[in-house]
Structure 1
Amino acid sequence: MTITNVAESATLSNVAESATLSGVIPPVCTPMTPDYEVDAASLVRLIDHLIDGGVDALFVLGSSSEVAYLTDAQRRTVLETVVGHVGGQVPVLAGAIDMTTPRVLEHVRVAAEAGVSGLVVTAPFYTRTHPEEIRTHFRTVAGRAGLPVYAYDLPVSVHTKLSAELLLGLAAEGVLAGVKDSSGDDGGLRAVIMGREAPFSVLTGSEVTVDSALWMGADGVVPGLGNVDPHGYVELYRCASRGDWEGARAEQERLARLFEIVHVGGTRMGGSSSGLGAFKAALHLRGVIDCPITALPQIPLNDDEVGRIGKLLAGAGLL
């Protein structure tokens, strides 16, 4: 896995072409204190847990980081804590995620000042956008960033699906260095993989179909569950890299069973509360973070639900 930074004076085409990204890149959870502030000490332990697990890069301020819930000051704390502690051991990508281009550009400025290796950007949201406006958004961000920009295809949250035509066109222009595909559209993912010509990293955001995505030709995975079991996703990726598809499938099946933790919250809470609460509860049970609390207004898991997560962790060999 490699990624190369570029100087701010680089041309737009060089920004995209200078970066290749592959392997296991967890979207890092943001541990919080009981009063809902960023728990920097727990965040440092989480980073060590992930690096010790053999991951290839880190992605902060994404969905699993609860980016939508964090204040600008909290986002800055996460950036400075992670980049400072990593100290160049692995690349750090940062989400620059907000509703409109001017707001995203401010996040880009802060992330670049913190020293990140690349940026992850969604389409604009809240406002109703046309594909040409989305193109303008990515072109503007890439033109200002001086860093590789990776599109984040997340229609469940931004209500826009990034088409293969749009992604590949921006890649050909040198605007985008790759995509994190969390769309759930396997046909669309395949179209991007098969249609790319310029260097363009395709990363799946699915925890449970990684083996099939890698078999199709995806370059890596950005798994929220990778916070809990980084070793498992690294082993899956290594099996696929050496053509051991039976080994990759076996590890994928184990991880798919572990992924059931995200459903423990059931119907009494939203998917974010259930999924992110499960990741944090698991990290707490494993002794990585001090507190499993999620940001308001998410509903916390109860003792029974945390106990069920513990049983799933034990079944996966993690307790």
Structure 2
Amino acid sequence: MKFHGIVPALVTPLTADQQLDEAALRNLIENLIGHSVHGLFVLGTNGEFFALSEEEKLRVARITVEAAAGRVPVIAGTGAFATAEVVRMNARMHELGVDGLSVITPYFNAVNERELIKHYETIGNASALPIMLYNIPAETGMSIGIKAVAALCQHPMIKGIKDSAGNFDALVQMMQYRSDDFAVFAGTDSLIYWNLLAGGDGAVAATANAVPGVVMDIWNRFKAGDHAGARSAQERLRPLRDTFGMGTLPVVLKEATNLLNLPVGPCRSPILPLEPAQAERLAQALAVYRN
């Protein structure tokens, strides 16, 4: 597969008692495919991978592959601190029929550049599936630097990077390593249009859970040459993006998805629902999407 287009970073639907909600996950997948997304990304940060057991992760991947039924590629997050753990999970995902892998940087204990490059090279050497590097320093405490990108983009199984650092200058620097064999994706939804304008390949977009039509409008208008329309669609994401600071990730996104799109349930503890006053402010802020 080639990493390309708008790929929603799916939330993981849970029941009221915080168990995986298979029916809701399948409904979300159908909804997103119905909006003509280019792929599905599961078990990312907004998918609460950090709160799921290995068995649950494999179940999410299996359900998504089954529900997608070959209509769009499925990318699964498999990141962990230990290199061997990532290699093992990648093999399990391959057995389930996943099309691509997203590997977040090691977290909690930041490694140096030499260690980071070796980590990814070892994972790539053992992988039967294309890999997307995942850079989100605000959550992991470390960043994939430009030198590491320059080295890793040469690996035959490392096919792209999802950059969620929110630094447009760094994103632009990465474009010098973009090729037909290495994609540069925006992982910060406020930069979808700007990434495309700079020559990027698309976005892994969490906001698509709540407002898939708006996110796809950015892509469709850009590809049609309607830059004013694409930029306007990008600006339409701002009210949703501006609410994210109201709660612990990804509670606001889940509650926004419940309000604007489909039921996806709560987050897993220790993340709590918004307080009633916060929920009311969220509903007011998102009223613009009902017009």
Shorter-chain TM-score tier: over 0.9
Paired with 1:288 and 1:31, the residues of 2 have a C-alpha distance of 10
Please, which of 255, 258, 262 is the counterpart of residue 281 of structure 1? 255
Corresponding residue for residue 45 of structure 2 = 63
| 1:145-166 CA-partner distances (Å, limit 9, x unpaired) | 1100110011112222111221
Query: One-letter code of the match for 2:195?
Result: A
Shift of 1:309: 2.5
Paired with 1:105 and 1:195, the residues of 2 have a C-alpha distance of 25
Corresponding residue for residue 278 of structure 2 = 305
Report the identity percentage: 29
Deviant stretches of 4+, over 6 Å = none
Whether the 8 Å contact between 1:93 and 1:118 is mirrored in structure 2 is yes
Query: One-letter code of the match for 1:59?
Result: F
Query: One-letter code of the match for 2:81?
Result: M
Give the secondary-structure state (helix, strand or coil) at the position aligned to 2:41: strand
Paired with 1:157 and 1:254, the residues of 2 have a C-alpha distance of 26
Shift of 1:114: 1.1
Q: Which runs of 5+ in 1 are unaligned?
A: 4-19, 266-270
In structure 2, relative to structure 1, the CA distance for the partners of 1:290 and 1:211 (3 Å cut) is: closer
Query: One-letter code of the match for 1:139?
Result: E
Shift of 1:128: 4.0
The 5-angstrom pairing of residues 215-230 of structure 1 reads 215-230=197-212
| 1:4-53 CA-partner distances (Å, limit 9, x unpaired) | xxxxxxxxxxxxxxxx2211101100011122111111111111111111
Q: Which range moved further: 223-232 or 163-172? A: 163-172
In structure 2, relative to structure 1, the CA distance for the partners of 1:234 and 1:198 (3 Å cut) is: closer
Whether the 8 Å contact between 1:168 and 1:196 is mirrored in structure 2 is no
In structure 2, relative to structure 1, the CA distance for the partners of 1:191 and 1:299 (3 Å cut) is: same
Whether the 8 Å contact between 2:153 and 2:177 is mirrored in structure 1 is no
Give the secondary-structure state (helix, strand or coil) at the position aligned to 1:202: strand
Corresponding residue for residue 8 of structure 1 = none
Paired with 2:75 and 2:96, the residues of 1 have a C-alpha distance of 11
Shift of 1:218: 1.1
Whether the 8 Å contact between 1:83 and 1:114 is mirrored in structure 2 is yes
The RMSD of aligned alpha carbons is: 1.7
Give the secondary-structure state (helix, strand or coil) at the position aligned to 1:217: coil
Give the secondary-structure state (helix, strand or coil) at the position aligned to 1:146: coil
Paired with 1:197 and 1:23, the residues of 2 have a C-alpha distance of 15
Corresponding residue for residue 83 of structure 1 = 65
Paired with 2:260 and 2:145, the residues of 1 have a C-alpha distance of 39
State the TM-score, normalizing by the size of structure 2: 0.94
In structure 2, relative to structure 1, the CA distance for the partners of 1:158 and 1:240 (3 Å cut) is: same
In structure 2, relative to structure 1, the CA distance for the partners of 1:98 and 1:173 (3 Å cut) is: closer
State the TM-score, normalizing by the size of structure 1: 0.86
| 1:237-282 CA-partner distances (Å, limit 9, x unpaired) | 11112221111111111111232232333xxxxx42xxx1122112
Q: Residue 236 in 1 paired to residue 218 in 2? A: yes
In structure 2, relative to structure 1, the CA distance for the partners of 1:253 and 1:128 (3 Å cut) is: closer
The 5-angstrom pairing of residues 142-291 of structure 1 reads 142-197=124-179, 199-265=181-247, 271-272=248-249, 276-286=250-260, 288-289=262-263, 291=265
Give the secondary-structure state (helix, strand or coil) at the position aligned to 1:139: helix
Query: One-letter code of the match for 1:89?
Result: R
Give the secondary-structure state (helix, strand or coil) at the position aligned to 2:10: coil
Paired with 1:127 and 1:21, the residues of 2 have a C-alpha distance of 29
Whether the 8 Å contact between 2:74 and 2:98 is mirrored in structure 1 is yes
Q: Which runs of 5+ in 2 are unaligned?
A: none
| 1:183-215 CA-partner distances (Å, limit 9, x unpaired) | 122121111113435621110011112211111
In structure 2, relative to structure 1, the CA distance for the partners of 1:302 and 1:158 (3 Å cut) is: same
Please, which of 52, 55, 80 is the counterpart of residue 34 of structure 2? 52
Whether the 8 Å contact between 2:168 and 2:191 is mirrored in structure 1 is no
Q: Which range moved further: 84-93 or 132-141? A: 132-141
In structure 2, relative to structure 1, the CA distance for the partners of 1:197 and 1:75 (3 Å cut) is: closer
Shift of 1:64: 0.7
Query: One-letter code of the match for 1:156?
Result: A
Q: Which range moved further: 90-99 or 197-206? A: 197-206
Corresponding residue for residue 269 of structure 2 = 296
Corresponding residue for residue 315 of structure 1 = 288
